[in-house]
Amino acid sequence: MGNVTFNFEGKVAIVTGGGRGIGRAIALGLAGSGAQVVVTARTQSEIEQVAKEIEEKGGKVLPIVTDLTVPAQLEELVRETIKVFGRIDILVNNAARSFLRSLLELREDGWDKVFNTNVKAVWLLSRLVAKYMIEQKGGRIINITTVGAEKAELGMAAYGSSKAALKMLTRCMAREWAPFGILVNAVGPTLTRTDFSRPLWSNPELAKHVASAIPLGRIAEPEDIVGAVLFLASDAASFITGQTIYVDGGSLTT
């Protein structure tokens, strides 16, 4: 958990989808750099395990079960964070949903579930958090998007479209909230080895094919994504807003 590059002592961060995969890695990375971290997801056992890992290494953490598609639970998440820590400095909107379906097979309710989690919930939670950041005269919001926002992938229409919308939402939030000192950026991973993406890498032949399309020659690991998030949350990125950093092993160069 230790990190010699960034120091978030005294900062409070919320990480959505923090129970596994990229969100877990980000939560551990922030905590390891001194931040007090609120880890939230829908599965209590997962966030409690992450909280245990952070506490065992001396970090301060608050696990909160949240269904991001329920506005009242978003409000409770923010209220509880303020009650316990008194402020919110960093919000990482990492939680996401996807269905591997063609446009002809995808049902309307599936499309709605993807957009409700990947776009609407980000807007609602960011708006709630921004009100406190305005009072604090600043903050950082980092949205996790994907290379799929830039290139069409078969079976990923709803996911890719939602993440493309999130990229523009990132820019809109950055534009509107810049006068308040709130910097909003995004990080876009390539295929990363998580439970979320398991169907795309669990088959050795398919994984080999996918890796061959990445110039660096491998699928990303969750820890590969953490550095970009820490950078954007840090003072080193104090004049960067409205941008997307793709952590993709060169995927978008092909």
Query: Which residue blocks in 89-238 are alpha helix, DSSP H?
Result: 108-115, 121-136, 157-177, 198-201, 204-212, 222-233
Neighbours of 55 (CB within 10 A): 12
Residue 231 phi, psi (nearest 5): -60, -50
Residue 1, pLDDT > 60, answer no
Question: Which letter, b or e, does each residue of 86-106 get, where b requires 16 or more Cβ atoms within 10 Å of its Cβ?
Answer: eebbbbbbbbbbbbebeeeeb
Lowest mean pLDDT among 18-27, 196-205, 224-233: 196-205
**132 in Cβ contact with 88 (< 8 Å):** yes
Which one of 85, 115, 159, 246 is the catalytic residue?
Answer: 159
Are β-strands 244-247 and 90-93 bridged in parallel, bridged antiparallel, or unpaired? unpaired
Query: Which whole number is the average pLDDT over 55-83?
Result: 98
CA–CA gap between residue 86 and residue 17 (Å, rounded): 22
pLDDT at 2: 44
Alpha-carbon distance of 192 to 194, in angstroms, equals 6
pLDDT at residue 111 greater than cutoff 70: yes
| pLDDT given at position 225 | 97
pLDDT of residue 21 exceeding 70, the answer is yes
CATH architecture of the domain covering 12-193+222-248: 3-Layer(aba) Sandwich (3.40)
pLDDT at 3 over 60: no
Q: What is the mean pLDDT of residues 72-86?
A: 99
Cα 210 to its chain centre, rounded Å, is 23
Q: Check residue 197 and give its pLDDT.
A: 76
Burial of 26 (0-12, 13-18, 19+ CB in 10 A): buried
| Average pLDDT for 183-191 | 96
Stretch 157-173: mean pLDDT, rounded? Answer: 98
Mean per-residue pLDDT for 168-193?
Answer: 97
Is 159 annotated as catalytic?
yes
Nearest-angstrom CA–CA distance, 120 and 7: 31
% the chain with pLDDT above 90: 85
**Confidence band (pLDDT; 50, 70, 90) for 85?**
very high
Residue type present at position 4: V
Regarding beta strands 244-247 and 12-16, do their DSSP bridges make them parallel or antiparallel, or are they unpaired?
Answer: unpaired
Q: Compute φ and ψ for 249, nearest 5 degrees.
A: 60, 20
Give pLDDT, residue 193: 86
